């Protein structure tokens, strides 16, 4: 028997969720947001397999509209556990955890606020996200996603985000396409001689 699925692929589900989040995000957050707001069967195992497949299947001469790839650390190595989209600019792919988490809460809460009805899964997601926002649990206690978005926006305004040094941007430009997507190779740690 031949089964046809009308669900988007894990890759498409991850892309849609990352577009909503708008910042480097953990696999757990991507799965939680997707499960609360979209149809599909996205799991952390599927995301791990997808990321592995994206890197293994990368061929410079085969164009792709987008790829799911790891976020980058300021030294341009891959940030373990954080995912981004290849189409984002470098500044959007370099992880800034405090700012990224607050920006994600703003976008997710605003998305839920625009919906006519929010289900129990969306409400549970907002409660969980509110815990990471200063004043968030109190703001969300009124059960209004817009107040949580405002609290996260206020907290985000107080987070200092250091712009990427020009040297980092120059170094990134000189990396091979694979390294631009999946991170530069880090230097191995060496034990000191005694």
The beta-carbon contacts of 160-167 under 8 Å, at least 24 apart in sequence, are 161/96, 161/99, 162/96, 163/91, 164/74, 164/90, 164/91, 164/94
Domain ranges of the chain: 9-95, 96-159
pLDDT at 193: 46
Spans of the chain below 50 pLDDT: 1, 190, 193-194
For 130, residues 6+ apart whose C-beta sits below 8 A from its C-beta are: 105, 136, 137, 139, 140, 148, 151
pLDDT at 3: 56
For 164, residues 6+ apart whose C-beta sits below 8 A from its C-beta are: 74, 90, 91, 94
Return d(Cα 30, Cα 56) in angstroms, integer.
22
Helices (runs of H) and strands (runs of E) counted in the chain = 10, 3
pLDDT at 1: 45
pLDDT at 140: 75
pLDDT at 91: 93
- The secondary structure of the chain in percent helix, strand, coil, rounded to multiples of 5, reads 50, 10, 40
């Amino acid at each position: 028997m031949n089964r046809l699925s009308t669900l988007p692929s894990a890759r498409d589900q991850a892309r849609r969720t990352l577009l909503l989040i708008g910042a480097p995000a953990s696999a757990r957050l991507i799965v939680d947001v997707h499960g609360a707001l979209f149809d599909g069967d996205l799991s952390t195992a599927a995301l791990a397999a997808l990321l592995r497949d994206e890197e293994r299947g990368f061929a410079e001469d085969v164009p792709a509209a987008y790829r799911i790839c790891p976020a980058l650390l300021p030294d341009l190595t891959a940030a373990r556990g954080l995912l981004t989209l290849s189409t984002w600019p470098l500044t959007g792919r370099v992880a800034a955890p405090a700012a990224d988490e607050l920006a994600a809460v703003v976008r997710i809460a605003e998305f839920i606020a625009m919906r006519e009805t929010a289900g129990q899964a969306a409400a549970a997601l907002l409660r969980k996200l509110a815990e990471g926002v200063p004043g968030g649990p109190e703001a969300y206690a009124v059960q209004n996603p817009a107040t949580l978005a405002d609290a996260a926006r206020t907290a985000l305004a107080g987070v200092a985000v250091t712009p990427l040094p020009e040297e980092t941007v120059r170094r990134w430009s000189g990396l091979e396409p694979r390294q631009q997507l999946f991170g530069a190779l880090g230097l191995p740690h060496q034990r000191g001689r005694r």
